[in-house]
Structure 1
Amino acid sequence: AFQVGENLAVTPGKVIYRNSLMELIQYSPTTENVYAEPILYVPAWIMKYYILDLQPSNSMMRWLVEQGHTVFAISWKNPDKDDAHLTMEDYRTLGVAEALDVISAVVPEQKIHTVGYCVGGTLLTIAAAVMAREGDDRLQSVTLFAAQTDFTDAGELRLFIDEMTLYWLDQQMKRNGFLATKQMGGAFSALRAPDLLWQPMLRRYCLGEDSAGFDIMSWNADGTRMPYKMHSDYLRQLYLKNELAQGKYVAGGRAISIGDITVPMYIVGTTADHIAPWQSVYKTRNLKKLGETTFCLTAGGHNAGIVSEPGRPRRSYSVGSWDQNSGYQSPEEWQAAAQAHEGSWWLNWQVWLAEHSGSERSAPPTIGAPDKGHYVLCDAPGTYVLQR
């Protein structure tokens, strides 16, 4: 029922850059004038980027373009055994850093709003901390969707993460060069077995119901592989040892601190998230000690809470902000004091983006930067997203 490029991931755009790890999509403008500051979306590499570009009715990429934003998105390569050597540092440098360089060529002398989803948000936070340490001031803001930076209470996924399990995974990945799609998908399904395993089997095999599903389920079935080295380091350094929260995680040759990040940050957690519990997502507030931070808690799970477009019924969210002079609040204290709203949190975030952008609008930039070697390579959604 769903095909990428036909009725999924159909927001018009062009691939303007490709390297061995990612393609960079620039979406086509639909407004006469746009905000000066572009947006870069950094997706998780665990699944494919188009969770935020499903159908036109619920595509965040399309919606942002319609609000007058110039939007870029990373689409990760689906790695194979030849990519076993790739590390988290490769994802930072070949992914986030090179994407920022290309965007700076397309929209020169403009700061950039950045958005990271799930582990893409963790990677974006690492990249932002490196940039802050090195005095790179190209970021206008950082937004994190269901992304963890402190893994002390990282939810039910920790059931699968201990030294014995990681040793077993390492042996599996060494032989193949990657973690297979079915292994990753099976772990996530096991966390919600009644909803993701038993109910679908009951409906299909006992009741004979059609299993065509819907767009998020189709996206969920379109899995990716994990490179051996990257995935091993990610699970050990972040989940098991919690090095990022402790200021021990090394990127760019030295340990980094989230406390160095000063740009405004908007953090989104979801009430029913079994992958990144909102109380865990909230902890970034305690690690980012400088500048303004906003936390938004929205109804729903890890995916449906984020894909919560305006007009969808039974949507609600709570939101609150603080700066470095604000006192500590536990997640429960914050929730009790936060202002509650009916409707989509996207609208609140758009107001926040507008408030943290320049007041002047201008004509949209060109697609790509041909004068700097960044040509249109193909239409969106590109080629990497189609890899099986």
Structure 2
Amino acid sequence: MLDIAWNPTLNTLTRNAWRLSFGGGIAPVQRTPSTRIHEAPHQDLYRFDGSDTDDDRPILLVPPLAAPAQCFDLRPGQSLAAHLAGSGKATYLVDYGTMGYADRGLGFEDWVDDFIPAAVDRVSRLHDGAPVDLIGWSLGGTMSLLTAAGRGDLPIGSVTAIGTPIDYESVTMIAPLRAVGRFTGDRPLTTATGAMGGLPAPLVQASYRFTALQRELTKPWFIARNLHDTETLARMESIDRFMADMPGYPARFFRQVCTQLILGNALTEGNFETRNGAIALADLTVPVLAIGGTEDVIAPIPSVRAATDVLTGSLSVRFESAPGSHLGLVAGPKAKDSTWAHIDGFLDGVVAQTA
């Protein structure tokens, strides 16, 4: 008779199976300790504890909409925030919170003219006016680039855009939407969302799962194959929690995504229209790092690399590729030795340039 007490592998299999099925999960949620230093609708500002806030040039993490701000801090080992703070960098995060019907009129201009500039100014003042390095993921990178281009008066030192598409014609998964849109415009995408006040969270979550359809379909086999590997299951669990927490898009913001980015491919022309006027990407002057993922279907490498063509006013535009999917770029098992290493090298070089 097999003695389970003396079979650690079988013990692990049994424990993991129980936790996945009935025990509340493989690992508890663990976030990097942080302190909220400012509270306001859609612009809460956090400082990660343990970072050197006296001597180091500050960093502001800029998440996209329709994704939890925890994209930068999923769990230990999957936290760009912990990596930056642990290396002695003063690291901050702006958190937009949830979106409801009352937010339906919010658009890109509210972020690039108000929310993000206010966070940049607040962080800079905490550091005696030092320039702030922005790091944005996905549409957070888009908003960071537009903020730097449209608000040249801000103390922005550089922009890092992770998995941020510029050329939407290179995003093959939305090619059918673009084809239909040539005849129908944005109406099939935005009529219903306008009535609902935006794209509800369940639809955002379903859309993101669709982009990783193979992962969803093979998930039972993945679990069975890795039931002995607690760390791998914990990473899977953190991604599932991330997707389950996705909030929705405000109606105006979603319409701008559809009309200007998906259908209009406006960023390749170097301009983005807002209610406050046009923003020209050529007006961005700070150094930029763009990182594309080799397995990213939401922002394929050609769509990200296009940043090197349109940011003509930048002091320097550097493109790097890294292994991983859209989320894997910033929080995957290989991110530390690829994406995070690229960011470290880029920021060190920016500081050296301005020293």
User: What is the TM-score normalised by the length of structure 2?
Assistant: 0.81
C-alpha change, 1:249 and 1:84, in structure 2 (3 Å) is: same
The equivalent of 1:69 in structure 2 is 89
Distance 1:248 1:351 in 2: 29
The equivalent of 1:153 in structure 2 is 170
Deviation at 1:228, TM superposition (A): 1.0
Q: Quick one: which of 311, 324, 328 aligns to 1:300?
A: 324
User: What is the TM-score normalised by the length of structure 1?
Assistant: 0.75
Counterpart of 1:244 in 2: which secondary structure? helix
C-alpha change, 1:175 and 1:254, in structure 2 (3 Å) is: closer
Do 2:121 and 2:155's aligned partners in 1 also have CA atoms closer than 8 Å? no
Do 1:33 and 1:68's aligned partners in 2 also have CA atoms closer than 8 Å? no
Of Structure 1 and Structure 2, the greater helix share is in 2
Distance 1:229 1:31 in 2: 38
The equivalent of 2:219 in structure 1 is 200
Distance 1:50 1:105 in 2: 25
Distance 2:62 2:295 in 1: 23
- Aligned residue identity for 1:215: S
Distance 1:178 1:253 in 2: 21
Aligned pairs for 1:140-289 within 5 A: 140-161=157-178, 162-163=180-181, 164=184, 166-196=186-216, 198-200=217-219, 213-251=236-274, 253-289=276-312
1:10-31 per-residue CA deviation (whole Å, 9 max, x = no partner) reads 2111111222222111112345
C-alpha change, 1:2 and 1:269, in structure 2 (3 Å) is: farther
Distance 2:98 2:129 in 1: 33
Counterpart of 1:56 in 2: which secondary structure? coil
Counterpart of 1:109 in 2: which secondary structure? coil
- Aligned residue identity for 1:270: G
Do 1:51 and 1:216's aligned partners in 2 also have CA atoms closer than 8 Å? no
C-alpha change, 1:167 and 1:345, in structure 2 (3 Å) is: closer
Distance 1:231 1:214 in 2: 28
When the two chains are superposed, the root-mean-square deviation of aligned CA atoms in Å is 3.1
- Aligned residue identity for 1:167: R
C-alpha change, 1:108 and 1:298, in structure 2 (3 Å) is: same
Deviation at 1:360, TM superposition (A): 11
Do 1:111 and 1:140's aligned partners in 2 also have CA atoms closer than 8 Å? yes
Counterpart of 1:101 in 2: which secondary structure? helix
Counterpart of 2:47 in 1: which secondary structure? strand
5+ long unaligned stretches in structure 2? 1-23
Identity level (%) = 21
How many residues of Structure 1 are paired with residues of Structure 2 in the alignment?
A: 322
- Aligned residue identity for 1:147: T
Q: Is structure 2 residue 349 aligned with structure 1 residue 355?
A: yes
Do 1:271 and 1:300's aligned partners in 2 also have CA atoms closer than 8 Å? yes
Do 2:121 and 2:154's aligned partners in 1 also have CA atoms closer than 8 Å? no
Deviation at 1:99, TM superposition (A): 0.8
The equivalent of 2:79 in structure 1 is 59
- Aligned residue identity for 2:161: L
Distance 2:26 2:155 in 1: 36
Q: Quick one: which of 35, 46, 50 aligns to 1:29?
A: 50
The equivalent of 1:118 in structure 2 is 138
Q: Quick one: which of 53, 62, 74 aligns to 1:42?
A: 62
Do 2:293 and 2:322's aligned partners in 1 also have CA atoms closer than 8 Å? yes
1:151-177 per-residue CA deviation (whole Å, 9 max, x = no partner) reads 222231343454348423323223321
Counterpart of 2:267 in 1: which secondary structure? coil
5+ long unaligned stretches in structure 1? 318-342, 362-388
C-alpha change, 1:118 and 1:187, in structure 2 (3 Å) is: same
1:71-113 per-residue CA deviation (whole Å, 9 max, x = no partner) reads 1111112111111111111122332111112112322321111
C-alpha change, 1:298 and 1:360, in structure 2 (3 Å) is: closer
Q: Is structure 2 residue 33 aligned with structure 1 residue 16?
A: no
